[in-house]
Amino acid sequence: MSKQEKIVCAGAKVKFIKHFRGKPNNENITKEVIFPMISRNHEDHIVQIDTMLELSGGEDSDRFSKMSTQYGFITNKNRFVDAEEALKITGWGNQLRFKDRKYLLSEDLY
């Protein structure tokens, strides 16, 4: 039996590059990571991600640089979806408060 997909929290997909200390740039690694959001809105999440990346490296260690961030939502099937798809998944699109927009905001979950 397949469960109906539901939105469980807001999240961010962050693409970053890891700079290895003492190695040429062509040996850097680019990764994409999805972070669940532990705040009520995406703006607070920006600060959390930037702080985490800032704390990840100092002068004597490897460091990370954020390349891009895509904000969206995470489902109970561990899938990252954008705000438009998230609104479709919730089924809230026909409610009066969503008539004038076609996407979900992180604030709508609370």
Structural contact between residues 68 and 17, judged by C-beta atoms closer than 8 angstroms: no
User: Is there a domain that residue 52 lies in?
Assistant: yes
In this structure, the chain runs to a length of 110
User: Is there a domain that residue 17 lies in?
Assistant: yes
User: Is there a domain that residue 22 lies in?
Assistant: yes
User: Is there a domain that residue 35 lies in?
Assistant: yes
* Residue 61 belongs to domain spanning: 7-109
User: Is there a domain that residue 1 lies in?
Assistant: no
User: Is there a domain that residue 85 lies in?
Assistant: yes
Is residue 105 over pLDDT 70? Answer: yes
User: Is there a domain that residue 79 lies in?
Assistant: yes
* Per-residue confidence band for 18, with pLDDT thresholds at 50, 70 and 90: confident
Q: Which two tokens stand for residue 40?
A: 């009520």
In the chain, beta strands by DSSP E: 7-19, 29-36, 63-75, 80-81
What local confidence, expressed as pLDDT, does residue 83 receive? 92
What local confidence, expressed as pLDDT, does residue 85 receive? 94
What tens digit of pLDDT does each residue of 48-95 get? 777 766 666 555 556 666 677 788 999 999 899 999 999 999 887 666
**pTM for the model:** 0.68
Q: From the CB of residue 71, how many other CB atoms can be counted at a distance below 10 Å? A: 20
